Structure 1
Amino acid sequence: MGKLIYVTNVSLDGYIEDAQGDINWFPLGDEVFAFHTGLLRSVGTLLYGRRLYEAMAVWETDPALAARSDLTADFANAWQAASKVVYSTTLATVPTAGTRLERRFDPAAVRELKATAGSDLTVGGAGLAARAFEAGLVDECRLLILPVVVGGGKPGLPKGMRTDFELLDERRFRNGVVHLHYRVLPSGHQGSAV
């Protein structure tokens, strides 16, 4: 059985993109980039919303990205090796191998995917992750906290519900990014309105 893990980069004030939809304030650097690659290698399936999938698909559709360095080649290889499920009502097709397009997010289907998985899964995209949280499907969170305040935008974690966590691990990077690894506490602690 696989765990469903929400992985995201988030500003110190809790946003994954600023009020203009920009994410260019991410100070990732090689150390954090290599860490992301390690996380990616540890999972077998990636669940994406349309916008994040379209942003990430370039790791397969644009070979020039992988050619930039050994780090980017490693990331591209890890991304391409994973199975992907994309939830979209607007995409007609998906341009990447090993990718399945779903028209709606079905919690029962994701439960079955977790139950039959030989490795962990990640969920990406704040909107899709919020639906997974609401359905009680998220087992862990891996938040990379970036040392910047953007003042508003798209929240990285769901609003309007309570979720309790247990800290499993933390790591501080030289560029000020901090990785926090949490386990989601049982459903008795999660899902109540705030």
Structure 2
Amino acid sequence: MAKLIYMNNISLDGYMEDERGTFAWLPIDDEVFAFHTECLRPVGTFLYGRCLYEAMAVWETDPALAARSDLMADFAGVWQGASKVVYSTTLTGVSTADTRIERRFDPAAVRGLKATASSDLMVGGANLAAQAFKAGLLDECELFILPIVVGGGKPGLPPGMRAKLELLEERRFGNGVVHLRYRPLGR
């Protein structure tokens, strides 16, 4: 059975976006960017909320991004090679290949997708990830902890939810970023 993984970049105080809704403060250098790409390489399907899908679609719709460097071209290729499921009640169409829209997050359908998938799935977007967490669907949680405190914004993990996690792996990067990979316990 394929794993469902949640991966996110968060500030030291736990936010994925600051109070203005931006994440331009991310100190992602080549080492971290290449590691992100390696984490995504085994993913066959991305499950996205609308906002994250629209932010990520540029990796297919803007060829100038991939042309900037070999690292960016590799990331674009990995991202484009995966299927995408976008959960949205308002989106009327998609701008990327191999992408479909679902109107609501259905835990039973995601369980079925996990059971039949030949490669891992990744859930992105805080609201969608919270639904997957609460439904007991997550197999792993990968966090990139960034050496910055932003003081508020959108939490990177679901507020008001308790979960015990087992640390599977950790990695420190030269720019102060720490990658932590966990498995939820007690599911």
- TM bracket (short chain): over 0.9
Residues of 2 paired with 1:160 and 1:27: CA distance? 28
How does 1:114-193 map onto structure 2 within 5 Å?
114-187=114-187
Q: Structure 1 length normalisation: TM-score?
A: 0.95
Distance 1:90 1:184 in 2: 32
CA distance in 1 between partners of 2:138 and 2:153 (Å): 23
Aligned with 2:38: secondary structure? helix
Give, as a single letter, the amino acid of the residue that structure 1 aligns with 2:11: S
Deviation at 1:43, TM superposition (A): 1.0
Residues in 1 aligned to 2:79 and 2:100: alpha-carbon distance in whole angstroms: 15
| Secondary structure of 1:85 counterpart | strand
Shift of 1:96: 0.3
How many Å separate the matches in 2 of 1:64 and 1:186? 45
Which structure 2 segments of 5+ residues have no match?
none
Per-residue Cα deviation, 1:149-168 (whole angstroms, up to 9, x for no partner): 00000000011111110000
1:100-115 matches, within 5 Å, as 100-115=100-115
Which AA in structure 2 matches 1:141?
A: C
Q: TM-score, normalised by structure 2?
A: 0.99
Alignment partner of 1:56 is 2:56: yes
Aligned residues: 187
Corresponding position of 2:85: 85
Q: Which residue of 2 aligns with 1:44?
A: 44
Counterpart for residue 6 of structure 1: 6
C-alpha distance in 1, partners of 2:3/2:145? 22
Measured in 2, the distance between the counterparts of 1:84 and 1:22 equals: 23
Output the CA distance in 1 between the equivalents of 2:184 and 2:4: 10
Q: Give the Cα–Cα distance (whole angstroms) in 2 for the partners of residues 169 and 39 of structure 1.
A: 12
Amino acid at match of 2:126: A
Q: What's the % identity of the aligned pairs?
A: 75
SS state of the match for residue 149, structure 2? coil
Q: Distance in 1 between matches of 2:165 and 2:98?
A: 32
> What SS does the aligned partner of 2:109 have?
helix
Aligned partners of 2:5, 2:186: CA distance in 1, in Å? 15
Separation in 2 of the partners of 1:163 and 1:82?
29
Please give the secondary structure, in 1, of the residue aligned with 2:100: strand
- Give the aligned partner of residue 192 of structure 1: none
Deviations 1:104-163 (A, max 9, x none): 100000000001111111000001000111111111000000000000000000111111
Q: Which runs of 5+ in 1 are unaligned?
A: 188-194
- Measured on the aligned residues, the alpha-carbon RMSD in Å equals 0.6
- Asked whether 1:18 is paired with 2:18, we answer yes
Aligned to 1:73: 73
Tell me the SS of whatever aligns to 1:174. coil
